[in-house]
A = this chain, B = another copy of it.
Amino acid sequence: MRTSRLEAFSDGVLAIIITIMVLELEIPHEPTWSGLAESATGFLTYALSFVYVGIYWSNHHHMFQVVEQISGAVLWANLHLLFWLSLLPFTTAWMDETSFEQTPTIVYGLNLLLAAIAYYGLQLTIFAGPGGERLRTALGVDLKGRLSPVIYLVGIALSFLASWPAVAAFVTAALVWLVPDRRVERFLRDERDLA
């Protein structure tokens, strides 16, 4: 099966998730700077979730550059990942509307954790399929992929004390991914050089 249509569909879903979150941003009631300031947390959580969806899109994009054929199992592992990401507008809005109350913050962390697990599951499914060895070699020891769930768990644990350290953990895990990751690019270049 060709990867192009799976990529196009995933791009579509991720583009919509990243964009409809703005519909959950509440328009300030007062036409003033202090009115806008009340929306400030909404703006920050919007930016955080925007960056997360951007990270997943970027990683997804890199991963499927190495994949050449997809099976039905990969297709469903991919939908599983999209499912958890599609809940981000919901968990983001809840955390924001309650101004980072404990439960919504935990739920947001759980959403990030479940998306990370789904992403890991997608990787394993590709590893097990035809050509999976190639991706495994390209990714090597996936340090970041292993670190992220740990940070989310730390964040969830911290949220039992207070919400801000939890949010700080979620921001940290995002920053880790912003550091450029050249594994796939290097792998493709090496492969080309060998050929």
Contacts and interface: CB of A to CB of B under 8 A. Distances in A.
Contacts of A107: 36
A120 interface: no
Majority SS of interface residues in chain A? helix
A104 interface: yes
Question: In the complex this chain forms, how many copies of it are found?
Answer: 4
A2 to B, nearest CB: 8
A180 interface: yes
Contacts of A65: 1-2
A102 interface: yes
Nearest to A95: B31
B25 A90 contact: yes
B180 A36 contact: no
Interface of A: 1-2, 5-9, 11-20, 22-25, 27-28, 31-33, 35-36, 47, 50-51, 54, 57-58, 61-62, 65, 71-73, 75-76, 79, 82-83, 86-87, 89-90, 93-94, 97-98, 101-104, 107, 178, 180-182, 185
27 contacts: A1-B65, A5-B11, A8-B11, A9-B14, A9-B61, A12-B12, A12-B16, A13-B18, A15-B16, A16-B16, A17-B19, A19-B20, A19-B86, A20-B20, A22-B90, A27-B93, A28-B94, A31-B98, A31-B102, A31-B103, A32-B103, A33-B103, A36-B103, A50-B79, A50-B83, A50-B86, A72-B180
